[in-house]
A and B are shown apart, each in its own frame.
Chain A
Amino acid sequence: MIENRPWLTFVGHATLWLGVALVALPVWMALVASTHPASAFGVGHIPLWFGDAGVETWKSVLLEEAGNGIESSVTFMMLNSLVMALGITFGKIAISLLSAYAIVFFRFPFRNFCFWIIFMTLMLPVEVRIVPTYEVVANLGLLNSFTGLTLPLIASATATFLFRQCFLSIPSELVEAARIDGAGPFRFFFDILLPLTRTNIAALFVILFIYGWNQYLWPLIITTDNAYYTLVMSIKRMLSVTDGDIEWNRIMATTLLAMLPPVAVVIGMQKLFVKGLVDAEK
């Protein structure tokens, strides 16, 4: 349907621009705020244009300790976050691929039962089972470790379900052709299945990376050691100052840094991501 109504076009564009402004304004304000000295915020107005303390603030954020009881720098915490996010993402993808592979292509007793059990864990995200999960992790001696940060978050019903649907859409003749061509379970998995689900894996990677990166509650509870603090949970800690001023400039710079990796992942994998959602190569 193509309509040519100038008025409608104008309203449409105006709405879009308004939306962009609405979403971008806080980011802009964070960026501007990070360039003013900490004292600029005490007076009660919010600056809307760059100040002159930018270099200084960013330098201190990137290189010095985050302060307020956190002994590691923001850069270091970004690395922690990255390790955790990637650990969760790769772990989730690997384990979901394997469980979906087992459920779809192998005949074993209680196959459907297993699937539904996995599916039911959808109702049990970390927040719901946080106390028992904490106890298990504590008993295993995994507090303050990357294993403890990632492992309890790795099991994923969503990803298993997605891969299951994806595998089910692979024509059975393809599986049979591979069997006749002498491809065993491993060869079939690596030579046929993985390449065919490449775009789905990419799409899931984006979603899961953001999920892992944004983890707040779980790292907050199980880490007490500076060496394992992640960025997202630390922002809150930087805010809770008991006496003295909140260093808004540094906090704003930190939030911007916390936004960067997810943005980079989305932009970097956008092509594959969209392909994974719309493409039917099979």
Chain B
Amino acid sequence: MTDVILENVGKTYPNGYHAIPSVDLSIEEGEFIVLVGPSGCGKSTLLRMVAGLESITQGELRIRDERMNDKEPAERDIAMVFQNYALYPHMTVYNNMAYGLKNRGVGKTDIEEKVSNVADMLGLTELLQRKPGQLSGGQRQRVAMGRAMVRDPKVFLFDEPLSNLDAKLRVQMRIEIRQLQRKLGTTTLYVTHDQVEAMTLADRLVVLNKGKAEQIGTPMDLYDKPATPFVASFIGSPSMNLLPANLVEQGIKLSETLILPLSHAHRGGVVWGIRPEHLEVSDEQNADFALRVQAVESLGAETLIHGALEDQSGRITSLVIRLSGPHLPEIDSLIWLIAPTKHWHVFDAITQQRL
């Protein structure tokens, strides 16, 4: 069953700024959707429009087949977790969680039961009488989630909830959020700028760029078949090597002297891409091209090698490769590489669409 539908939803501010041109999205019940994009891409605005904190100036938002455009946030049956948690500083953890229920006229015994259930689930039982000021970042985060869960809403909205936590806690909370969401089966809309978070959490990802949905799909779809160079560079870390090139009769012409063979009807300017992990080291005879090493990042389990494409024309094109295990090539030495055709991504330079 389709739970949330965004139909041609757009936002223009009174000053004429076109924040979101148009977004279409339908979310199945229980689905975990992540909105991801660089800062300023409109992902938070879109989330706040679903929440009712920003007005929708175009299109229609429906939750369970009910038009929500003009409903107050409280009437939409959604719950939101904010980046800075937005806990009420003068209320105890218990009251923070109970406040929304109290305002909705839920009975006292009911509230107690619901809060204690959620507190149990999140391990907050011992903290119920504390105030937010006495909690650590992770605990506050949990309370913020508890406040959302206790109401048992139709939709959860998360606005970069993990960005205030340290790296280790972030990984832990990420897993916890995923497990909780699976257990509760509540439809979730989650905003983040962190592509790792996006990839690990999402059932489906929406990559936003300048208020437009560049691509919507499962994490693996986006990784394997990015629709545009933007998605290609955004998903995956380190990001995909994207080189401007020309598609000519013989193949892809990276420079005057470097042509990778490919048969394709299309001719003209393209963007050629390959992920750092798909480049393979080989010997000189079989290699497609050579890389002049500029910097090496050893991460233990893998090594990132930054270099420039060795090219007679003198143009410098940087490239990253990712090798598993430790490697220690000399700076300024040459590495011979194969770029397997099946891992190529070719985009039209003008339309920015995948070929």
Contacts and interface: CB of A to CB of B under 8 A. Distances in A.
Given A182-B74, A182-B100, A177 B89 contact: no
A195 B96 CA distance: 14
A171 to B, nearest CB: 7
A52 interface: no
Contacts of A198: 90
Interface stretch (B26-34, B75-83, B208-216, B217-225): B75-83
Contacts of B79: 180
B13 interface: no
A176 B82 contact: yes
Interface string B310-325: 0000000000000000
A281 B73 contact: no
B109 interface: no
Contacts of B147: 177, 181
A5 interface: no
Contacts of A182: 74, 100, 103-104
Given A191-B99, A192-B88, A173 B72 contact: no
Nearest to B85: A173
Contacts of B133: 281
Contacts of A195: 90-91
Given A171-B84, A179-B72, A281 B78 contact: no
10 nearest A-B residue pairs (beta carbon): A181-B100, A173-B86, A182-B74, A182-B103, A177-B86, A195-B90, A173-B82, A180-B73, A179-B73, A174-B86
Contacts of A192: 88, 90
A187 interface: yes
26 contacts: A171-B86, A173-B82, A173-B84, A174-B86, A174-B88, A176-B51, A176-B82, A177-B80, A177-B82, A177-B86, A177-B87, A178-B88, A178-B99, A179-B52, A180-B80, A180-B100, A181-B100, A182-B74, A183-B74, A183-B99, A192-B90, A195-B90, A198-B90, A281-B89, A281-B133, A282-B89
A196 interface: yes
A187 to B, nearest CB: 6
B169 interface: no
Contacts of B104: 182
A111 to B, nearest CB: 15
Contact of B53 (A174, A179, A282): A179
A213 to B, nearest CB: 30
B338 to A, nearest CB: 51
A111 B319 CA distance: 56
Given A176-B53, A183-B103, A187-B103, A196 B82 contact: no
A198 B84 CA distance: 23
A190 to B, nearest CB: 12
Contacts of B89: 196, 281-282
